[in-house]
């Protein structure tokens, strides 16, 4: 077998034991004589699978009893619309409700733009002035804000909030797609948390929403059934056929995480991996991090060949990405909007992958300058 180290931002690497177990159970899961893909979602065979996934997520994240967990589809991007529709949607003719957005990069700008179709959304603070290389101070919400939206970890630029802002009685909503389960998080500080699965949880196609129960049931009647938290909650994520196989794989990933020691253990490991990589970048004469030290992500680490002469930098970076791929270190190109390189070090990236990348970069640096 020839596995690569995959530094992709998403879909991204999954734990090998999870893939091996899924392979072993592909044609006969739990002695049912069926693949999970073939099971009725309402059957006695699938029920324990979705229940196990939810129970594990609740215990690993410490989700309080007054929060509901929903397994939906449409990715984090559909939540950009579902959040405003469900928390602040109004009927035709009624005054629009207000919502605050903190603009920390591409995903938060997209969330803001989508919300503007349904609510009076405003950008309460932004770090666009410095290419999103930091997290701005979070101003207090307005008393009549229906909610306050942040992107907790910014996958593309590689920043994360150093602490969770206090929004008082205004529900705090966070996109945690690229940092879910990577470090401890006090769920009770939030009204809604949402994450597409393909970064730290499992396959693309499944979306996890964690919502305080008092925020469910506020959508106006015209909001389509599939976009309503109240319907998905009432039907236990089975209003229609849920993404069964994705939910099953998430369950295996969560079991793997639990066996490792849960979030506190993976957090220690994530800190070690990120510290190794950032400290290499600090010492490198070729590569550097463009991100403010106070707000550096543990999960997504962009870097540039700033030590190269400006006229050669782009060419050198392209060569780096190609040669790294030839050495089985794949998907290191930065996002098409920001360029440079990026190493995503999600939960499933072993520390040996980080060490292999650093050794490769060190050798590349020595032969390049």
Ligand X SMILES: *Cc1c(COP(=O)(O)O)cnc(C)c1O
* Interacting residue ranges for ligand X, rule: CB under 6 A: 10, 75-77, 107, 151, 155, 175, 177-178, 196, 199
CA nearest neighbour of 95 among 123, 72, 118: 118
Q: Which is nearer to ligand X, 34 or 73 (CB)?
A: 73
Q: How far is the CB of 295 from ligand X (least distance, A)?
A: 15
Nearer residue to ligand X within complex by CB, 75 or 141: 75
Q: Where are the alpha helices (DSSP H) in the chain?
A: 16-24, 47-61, 75-88, 106-115, 229-234, 244-260, 262-283, 313-326, 351-368
Residue 355: CB atoms within 10 Å: 15
Q: Which two tokens stand for residue 113?
A: 């733009």
Q: How far is residue 77 from each of residues 113, 196, 298, measured CA to CA in Å?
A: 11, 8, 22
Coil vs helix vs strand at 150: strand
Q: Which is nearer to ligand X, 175 or 255 (CB)?
A: 175
Q: Report the catalytic residues.
A: 107, 175, 199
Q: What angle do CA 252, 255, 259 make, to 5 degrees?
A: 140
Distance between terminal CA atoms of the chain?
35
Shortest Å distance, C-beta 175 to ligand X = 5
Q: Which residue lies nearer to ligand X by CB, 53 or 344?
A: 344
CB of 195 to ligand X, least distance (A): 8
Min dist CB 212 to ligand X, Å, is: 21
- Which uninterrupted H or E stretch holds 190? none
């Amino acid at each position: 077998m020839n596995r690569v180290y995959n530094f992709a931002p998403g879909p991204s690497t999954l734990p090998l034991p999870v893939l091996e177990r899924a392979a072993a159970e592909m044609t006969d899961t739990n002695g049912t004589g069926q693949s999970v893909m073939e099971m009725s979602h309402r059957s006695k065979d699938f029920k324990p699978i979705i229940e196990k996934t939810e129970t594990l997520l609740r215990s690993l994240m410490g989700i309080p009893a007054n929060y509901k967990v929903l397994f939906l589809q449409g990715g984090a991007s559909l939540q950009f619309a579902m959040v405003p529709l469900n928390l602040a949607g109004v009927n035709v003719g009624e005054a629009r409700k207000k919502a605050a957005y903190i603009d920390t990069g591409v995903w938060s700008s997209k969330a803001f733009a989508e919300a503007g179709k349904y609510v009076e959304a405003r950008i309460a603070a932004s770090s666009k002035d410095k290419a999103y290389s930091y997290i701005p101070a979070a101003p207090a919400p307005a008393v009549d804000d229906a909610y306050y939206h942040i992107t907790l970890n910014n996958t593309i630029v590689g920043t994360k909030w150093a602490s969770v802002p206090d929004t008082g009685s205004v529900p705090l909503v966070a996109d945690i797609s690229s940092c879910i389960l990577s470090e401890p998080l006090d769920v009770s500080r939030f009204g809604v948390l949402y994450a597409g699965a393909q970064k730290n949880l499992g396959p693309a196609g499944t979306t996890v929403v964690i919502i305080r129960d008092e925020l469910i049931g506020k959508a106006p009647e015209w909001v389509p059934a599939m976009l309503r938290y109240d319907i998905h909650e009432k039907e236990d994520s089975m209003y229609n056929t849920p993404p069964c196989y994705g939910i099953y794989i998430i369950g295996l990933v969560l079991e793997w995480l639990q066996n490792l020691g849960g979030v506190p253990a993976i957090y220690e490991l994530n800190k070690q991996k990120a510290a190794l990589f950032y400290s290499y970048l600090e010492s490198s004469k070729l590569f550097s991090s463009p991100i403010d030290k106070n707000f550096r992500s543990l999960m997504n680490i962009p870097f540039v060949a700033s030590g190269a002469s400006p006229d050669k930098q782009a060419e050198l970076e392209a060569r780096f990405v190609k040669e790294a791929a030839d050495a089985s270190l794949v998907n290191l190109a930065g996002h098409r909007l920001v360029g440079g390189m990026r190493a995503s070090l999600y939960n499933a990236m072993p520390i040996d992958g980080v060490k292999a990348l650093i050794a490769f970069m060190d050798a590349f640096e020595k032969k390049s300058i």
